[in-house]
Amino acid sequence: MTEVETWADARIADVMRREGPRSLCIGPDKPLGGQGFQRTRDLAWALARHSWHLLGAGFIVSHGPAGLWLYAYHQDSLKTLLTSRRELLLEHDWPTRPMDFVRRTISEMMPPQTPLFDLIADAYGDKLNPGRTNVLPHMSRRELLDALGGFADPSLIYFGEARPWEAWPHNRCARVLEEGVCGAAIVNDECCQSGHLVAR
């Protein structure tokens, strides 16, 4: 196997392990996770289904043309990561508080092959992302994506292959759900339709 084939196999296995049903599984190795939903009812069910795992986590719900997104973050682990990269965040005028950092990652896409992109990938536990500065730097992004053999890698968004968030305004509404309410959260459909999500 070539170096890029070895990376591609590891990348696919890593995405399958971290994403899908495990998208909201957060902790020290993956302080931030997110999952998309087409209906508010599905989002509410996900909150109830993951309540045992997400108690004490921070939450942000965003709404845009591609649907609803629930972001969960492990506050202590994300705070530790952000503290370790504080100088980088300050240099780029990025927030150092977990909730503010998550909101910024929701509203702003970072170009790949930058240290800030690496930090965001670290927050998602994404060590093999083809947009990182340390993943086979001698190969082009096109070569890395081709090596995936058509696999629908989440990083395709950053490489112009898929752009579901381009139409989303930078001031998308995102409201933090209070800690510990995840098992009982009910999303207000009326607020969702107006573009504002709240928990009742």
How confident is the model over 44-98, as pLDDT tens digits? 887 777 776 667 788 888 887 667 888 999 999 999 999 999 999 999 999 999 9
Any domain includes 68: yes
Residue 174 has a pLDDT of 32
Whether 107 shows a pLDDT value over 90: the answer reads: no
SS3 73: strand
Any domain includes 29: yes
pLDDT band at 156 (very low <50, low <70, confident <90, very high): low
Average pLDDT over residues 142-154: 84
| Number of folded domains that form the chain | 1
Burial 71-89 (b: 16+ CB within 10 A, else e): bbbbbebbbebbeebeebb
CA 199 from chain center: how many Å? 21
Any domain includes 152: no
Any domain includes 116: yes
Residue 154 has a pLDDT of 74
Instruction: Output 5 or 173, whichever has higher pLDDT.
Output: 5
Q: For residue 196, count CB atoms less than 10 angstroms from its CB and return exposed for 0-12, middle for 13-18, buried for 19 or more.
A: middle
> Which domain range does residue 183 map to?
25-126+163-193
Q: Is the pTM of this model over 0.85?
A: no
Any domain includes 43: yes
Question: Do the beta carbons of residue 19 and residue 158 sit within 8 Å?
Answer: no
Average pLDDT over residues 88-111: 93
Any domain includes 18: no
What is the edge-to-edge ordering of all strands in the sheet holding 58-64?
A: 32-37, 67-73, 58-64, 174-175
**Vertex 134 angle, CA 114 and 69, to 5°:** 60
Question: How many Å apart are CA 195 and CA 191, to the nearest integer?
Answer: 6
Question: How many Å apart are CA 38 and CA 189, to the nearest integer?
Answer: 12
Residue 176 has a pLDDT of 31
Any domain includes 57: yes
**Which residue shows structure tokens 């989002």?**
43
Any domain includes 179: yes
